[in-house]
Amino acid sequence: MSEQHGKTYRPWDPERYRHEAQSPAAKLPEGDLVFFLLDTVPRLNVRRFYATYEQETRGAPPFDPAMMVCLLLYAYCVGVFSSRKIALACERNLAFMAIVGQERPDFRTISDFRKQHLEAFKEVFVQVVRLASEAGLVKLGNVSTDGTKIQGNASRHKAMSYGYMRKEVERLREEIEALVTAAYQQDEAEDAVLGSRRGDELPAELARREDRLATIEAAMRRLEARAKADADAERQHRAAAEAERQRTGQKRRGKVPKPVVDAPTDNAQSNFTDPELHIMPTNNTGWDYCGNAQVSVDEACQIIVACDVTDASNDKQQAEPMAQATLATLAQAGIVPPKDEAGAAHAIPATLDNGYYSETAAQALEDLGFDPYMATGRQRHHGSEAEASAPPATAKERMAAKVRTPAGKALYARRKVIVEPVFGQIKEARGFRRFLLRGLEKIRGEWRLVCLTHNLLKIWRYGSAQLAA
């Protein structure tokens, strides 16, 4: 038994495993990813993973948390996300056996460890960004932000529209009333009337309908709360737009917008398997319940410096939160933006597509210390010379003119080779196309695990390239 932090754990001796007969060390390449992780995990501060076990004295000793961290990191690096598949690999795959040895956790242990320690992986994410910076992989010359839809663990068939919910609630209430009446009549009847039946059918049917009624009413309350929040946000947006028109003297264009309604529309939907996810438009599949996964990526070696998942289908409100998350990661990792000769910090160039643009978002990025280059609409390759030479009059036109400058064009052109390939590497190369966990906070933790292993792969490949050179 090994002892750390005053608690006894199952023994873990990877040095011995790698040198046993038919050992992974004898069969796998010297620079294999698994050996990189076995060398890297001891350098990480994983004390937080031990905390939950320190005071527990019941049952058999748990698996060493450092081993479990290493196992999850390797599994996610090589695209094995299911706890059952990870447990099977621990029995059949040499690289997995190099981590666990003869002490092989079952799928339930792996699943529970992942769910229990999602928050602790926040610190691991920051530490991995710090390792990347120490290896010279973070330069802050251009930080690009983008989002991608990733399918949630929720079926489209387990959803219901608000209009149908109202009809279903009325029907269930009528059935419950009829069942209650029948139950009272049955209680008063003679036992002989029941014949061969047990006599408990009606109460079971009543309980089932009451449970379904409660579930649907809870979903209706969620939709009503969401609709009210959206209505409040729309009122604020209209008020701000009206104030800007009053300030500039511009007239309203187009039709007068319809009044804001607090109630949800009849086609507003809620999912019963994961109520926190919204249905979103997706490429090729039409509509599905998804999380909008966000990343901010450094230009030098595609290191992810911030990540998040939102339930908003568009990116309009994500520019400022992602900028704040980037600064928080850099501060925690001890990464200081480059400075000029006078010692003042340079504004960090930030490139974002037109889905993120708003005057408020651009100003927020500047206030946070970024130099934003944001497309303000679909870029036309053959714009008129008069349009290009017209002096910008509004904030939107000034941003468009900034992106059209030679320096702006060069920076913005890099966006598609900084952030977009990262999604390809995660979704195509590693096959992460669907969240396994449910609930927005758990989904955020799972996405963080995916992103930090992306960074570990970059550090490993960079080190391998350096050795080859």
Q: Which residues contact 349 (CB under 8 A, 6 or more apart)?
A: 141, 142, 143, 370, 371, 373, 411
pLDDT at 195 over 60: no
Reduce the DSSP state of residue 396 to 3 states and report it: helix
Residue 227: what pLDDT?
A: 78
Check if the beta carbon of residue 33 is closer than 8 Å to that of residue 460: yes
Do 250 and 189 share a domain, yes or no? Answer: yes
Do 61 and 101 share a domain, yes or no? Answer: yes
pLDDT at 469 over 80: no
- Rounded to an integer, the average pLDDT of 147-160 is 78
Do 41 and 175 share a domain, yes or no? Answer: no
Q: What are 369-404's pLDDT values in tens digits?
A: 999 999 987 655 555 444 555 677 788 889 999 999
Instruction: Identify the band that residue 21 occupies on the pLDDT scale cut at 50, 70 and 90.
Output: low
Instruction: Identify the band that residue 120 occupies on the pLDDT scale cut at 50, 70 and 90.
Output: very high
Tell which wins on pLDDT, 365 or 343. 365
- Rounded to an integer, the average pLDDT of 23-52 is 89
pLDDT at 279 over 50: yes
Residue 7: what pLDDT?
A: 67
Q: Report d(CA 304, CA 458) in Å as an integer.
A: 10
Q: What are 204-244's pLDDT values in tens digits?
A: 777 777 777 777 777 777 777 877 877 887 788 778 777 77
Do 82 and 130 share a domain, yes or no? Answer: no
Q: Report d(CA 405, CA 412) in Å as an integer.
A: 10
Q: Report d(CA 48, CA 426) in Å as an integer.
A: 27
Q: Report d(CA 16, CA 442) in Å as an integer.
A: 35
Q: Give, for 310, the enclosing helix (H) or strand (E).
A: strand 304-310
pLDDT at 268 over 50: yes
Q: What are 65-80's pLDDT values in tens digits?
A: 999 999 999 999 999 9
Do 147 and 284 share a domain, yes or no? Answer: yes
Do 148 and 179 share a domain, yes or no? Answer: no
Among 28, 29, 108, which Cα is nearest to 68's? 108
Residue 389: what pLDDT?
A: 58
Residue 260: what pLDDT?
A: 81
Do 455 and 372 share a domain, yes or no? Answer: yes
- How many domains is the chain built from? 3
Do 65 and 27 share a domain, yes or no? Answer: yes
Among 293, 252, 254, which Cα is nearest to 422's? 293
Residue 463: what pLDDT?
A: 78
Paired with 370 in beta bridges are 348
- Rounded to an integer, the average pLDDT of 415-433 is 94
Do 446 and 361 share a domain, yes or no? Answer: yes
Percent of the chain whose predicted confidence (pLDDT) is above 90: 47
pLDDT at 17 over 80: no
Residue 404: what pLDDT?
A: 92
pLDDT at 135 over 60: yes
Instruction: Identify the band that residue 468 occupies on the pLDDT scale cut at 50, 70 and 90.
Output: very low
Of 117, 142, 170, the domain-final residue:
117
Burial class (CB in 10 A: 0-12, 13-18, 19+), 272: middle
**Three state DSSP letters for 241-285:** HHHHHHHHCCCCCCCCCCCCCCCCCCCCEEECCCCCCEEEEECCC
Do 321 and 212 share a domain, yes or no? Answer: no
Do 390 and 351 share a domain, yes or no? Answer: yes
Q: List the domain range (segments joined by +) for residue 304.
A: 125-154+275-468
Q: Report d(CA 59, CA 458) in Å as an integer.
A: 40
Of 271, 300, 335, the domain-final residue:
271
Q: What are 326-336's pLDDT values in tens digits?
A: 999 999 999 98
Compute the mean pLDDT over every residue in the chain, rounded to the nearest whole number. 83
Angle between helices 107-116 and 83-92 (to 10 degrees): 130
Instruction: Identify the band that residue 443 occupies on the pLDDT scale cut at 50, 70 and 90.
Output: very high
Instruction: Identify the band that residue 58 occupies on the pLDDT scale cut at 50, 70 and 90.
Output: confident
- Rounded to an integer, the average pLDDT of 35-62 is 86
Of 222, 244, 271, the domain-final residue:
271
Do 190 and 255 share a domain, yes or no? Answer: yes
